[in-house]
Amino acid sequence: MEKLVPGDPQRIGAYRLLARLGAGGMGHVYLARSERGRTVAVKLVRQELAEQEEFRNRFRQEVQAARQVGGAWTAPVLDADTEAAIPWLATGYVAGPSLQSVVSHDHGPLPERSVHILGAGLAHALKDIHAAGMVHRDLKPSNVLITIDGPRVIDFGIARALETVTDGGLTRTGALVGSPGFMAPEQVRGDRITPACDVFCLGSVLAYAASGALPFGTANSGVHALMFRIAQEEPDLEGLPEGLAELIGACLRKEPGDRPSLDEVLERTGAADALGDDGHTLDPWLPGALVAQLGRHAVQLLDAEDP
């Protein structure tokens, strides 16, 4: 979370901006507050994307679909203006760090039990996304937020809108969209995307959460080499506990039809009974040091809301 800088808007729609949360391929994300006092995350689309009619059309469709995603394991889409000069959308704010931040900077790999509960929560989130007729397409550690109550999935539907982006007049429709280390083989090959794509990405996310490493390595040797390994080679699951390795290995099968369903993933985690229906874990699921860090995040949020 960073302070606003000169050039940042003070308001977007009915929301007063409080701080910067981050930036990505689609635009900037801001912490904001509604007129009724609700804290939200507002994503403002980049100017160059806003100027592309094909992107606007897809963004409009995806926002409409994302509004239908229910359940307690995602950050819900609360508001949007897809017709504004610069389109934006507002989601519920999740007061917690990303899984990427937790593993790479703040704590390190999670304990086995925590990873099982993480997998169960993410499976619930993906079931809700799929029930709305969507495929996430870009499930990765930076799109998973960690809270005391359980994990939350964000940015569903965004990747598909970016498929329409043009660059220098050359269309990228049908081009690869996703994060190389967390893509499924069918994404790498440019094949049709189905919900099973998200199951593969879930396996990669759980491997990262448990080990701090990507199951097919990094792109240090080149993105194309990484994509070849995803499409053709077996994942490196060495060092993972046996139960986790079996679950993750099943998710990472090359053929979509060979992967488990999300209900089967839930059963294999052995953690379904640790989750409540309201998006809360029934028992503590994170190490004590990480719980303390989440408390510091809450204090930072209060400081931003009341400068």
Give dist(CA 25, CA 306) in Å, integer. 30
DSSP-derived secondary structure for 12-46:
ETTEEEEEEEEE-SSEEEEEEE-TTS-EEEEEEE-
Instruction: Quote the CA–CA distance of 30 and 88 in Å, as a whole number.
Output: 11
Strands 144-147 and 88-92: unpaired
Whole-angstrom distance, CA of residue 234 vs CA of residue 246: 13
DSSP one-letter code for 88: E
β-strand pairing of 88-92 with 39-45: antiparallel
Residue 289 CB neighbours (<10 A): 10
Q: Tell me how far apart the terminal alpha carbons of the chain are, to the nearest angstrom.
A: 13
Closest by CA position to 90, among listed 119, 117, 67: 67
Structure tokens at 197: 């794509």
271: Cβ contacts below 8 Å, ≥ 6 apart = 113, 116, 117, 119, 120
Place of tokens 């689309």: 45
Does the annotation mark 79 as catalytic? no
| Catalytic hit among 8, 106, 128, 138 | 138
- The token duo for 281 is 């874990």
Contact call for residues 73 and 125 (beta carbons, < 8 A): yes
Catalytic positions are 138
